[in-house]
């Protein structure tokens, strides 16, 4: 099963996740999340399969998130509005995202990677 790894190479967390994958011999198809952000429909699918709330897909520590004042806006935003925002700019998406088409992880948690991807 091919794994898709949405990442931003300059992101420290993404590099840690990539290093873990490499050390465990796990091959992935890399997608640069800023140059090739997932579409709204891809994001909807990732979100639905992740079991997470949609707000967990936002990169809350990013400058863009703060610039747009999303902390307040997301409190009342609809699912469609959130998906539109995420699809509009890869820098708004929490990364890395790793998926095999069924399972989805957002961010890097070594224990979670051990359980799901090893």
Total count of domains within the chain = 1
Burial 2-29 (b: 16+ CB within 10 A, else e): ebbbbbbeebebbeebbebbeeeeeebe
Domain that holds residue 108: 3-117
Residue in the block written with tokens 């790793």: 98
What pLDDT, on the 0 to 100 scale, is given for residue 1? Answer: 60
What are 32-67's pLDDT values in tens digits?
999 999 999 999 999 999 999 999 999 999 999 999
What are 78-117's pLDDT values in tens digits?
999 999 999 999 999 999 999 999 999 999 999 999 999 9
CATH of the domain at 57: 3.40.30.10
CA angle in degrees (0–180, nearest 5) for 92-96-97: 95
What pLDDT, on the 0 to 100 scale, is given for residue 108? Answer: 98
What pLDDT, on the 0 to 100 scale, is given for residue 57? Answer: 98
What pLDDT, on the 0 to 100 scale, is given for residue 32? Answer: 98
Structure pTM? 0.96
């Amino acid at each position: 099963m091919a794994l898709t790894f949405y990442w931003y190479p300059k992101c420290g967390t993404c590099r840690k996740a990539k290093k873990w994958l490499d050390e465990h011999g796990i091959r992935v198809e890399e997608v640069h999340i800023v140059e090739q952000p997932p579409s709204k429909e891809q994001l909807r699918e990732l979100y639905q399969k992740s079991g997470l709330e949609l707000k967990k897909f936002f990169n809350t520590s990013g400058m863009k998130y703060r610039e747009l004042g999303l902390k307040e806006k997301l409190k009342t935003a609809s699912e469609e509005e959130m998906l539109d925002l995420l699809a509009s700019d890869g820098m708004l998406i929490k990364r890395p995202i790793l998926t095999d088409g069924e399972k989805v992880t957002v961010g890097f948690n070594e224990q979670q990677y051990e359980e799901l991807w090893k």
